[in-house]
Amino acid sequence: MLAVAAILAFLICFLVCADVIGRVVFNSPVKGTPEMVSFSIVVICFLQAPFAIRSGGMIFVDAVTSRLPPLGQRILEILGYLLGLTFFAIVCWGSIDPSIHAWTSNEFEGEGALRVPVWPARFIIVLGTFLAGFNYLLVVIERIRAPLSEPLRGPGNPDEMVG
């Protein structure tokens, strides 16, 4: 999923450059660029979220937790992961009906030259949030089972990267 997101981001760069060059040099922008970019940004974010969670790449602020004893740090760390799990589970659950509706109603984004179907992005949101929540669950299980002497996860511990 990370590779697909990276390729999509790479292709979007070329699209935006072509649009700008077309607009400035030829006075003719690439039709549908705003629709394709807005669609792609959502897809890229939700394709990358599970990897970011699993690799410890999510935002990690230890200003308060670093002043606590190891048990307090572990409790707050697990609580944060449980909140992340809850957030992504709620977003996943809330995205299922709009995804099905977009599929059954043949919903499109954009007018005129390019109309982009909405259902792929909506289903990617469902998949991405499900996998993000599942990764939070795996991290919670790992952190509960880990010895208390292990340091907190986060960007400061690159040796804990999984993948």
Of 151 and 64, more confident: 64
pLDDT digits (tens, 9 = 90+) for 4-45: 888 889 999 999 999 999 999 898 888 888 888 888 898 898
pLDDT digits (tens, 9 = 90+) for 86-132: 999 999 999 999 999 999 998 887 776 677 788 888 999 999 999 99
* Residue 147: other Cβ atoms inside 10 A: 7
Q: Which residue, 59, 50, 17, is CA-closest to 124?
A: 50
Q: Are 55 and 161 in contact (CB under 8 A)?
A: yes
The secondary structure of the chain as a DSSP string is -HHHHHHHHHHHHHHHHHHHHHHHHSS-PPTTHHHHHHHHHHHHHHHHHHHHHHTT-S----TTGGGS-HHHHHHHHHHHHHHHHHHHHHHHHHHHHHHHHHHHTT-EE--TT--EESHHHHHHHHHHHHHHHHHHHHHHHHHHHS-TTSPPPSTT-GGG---
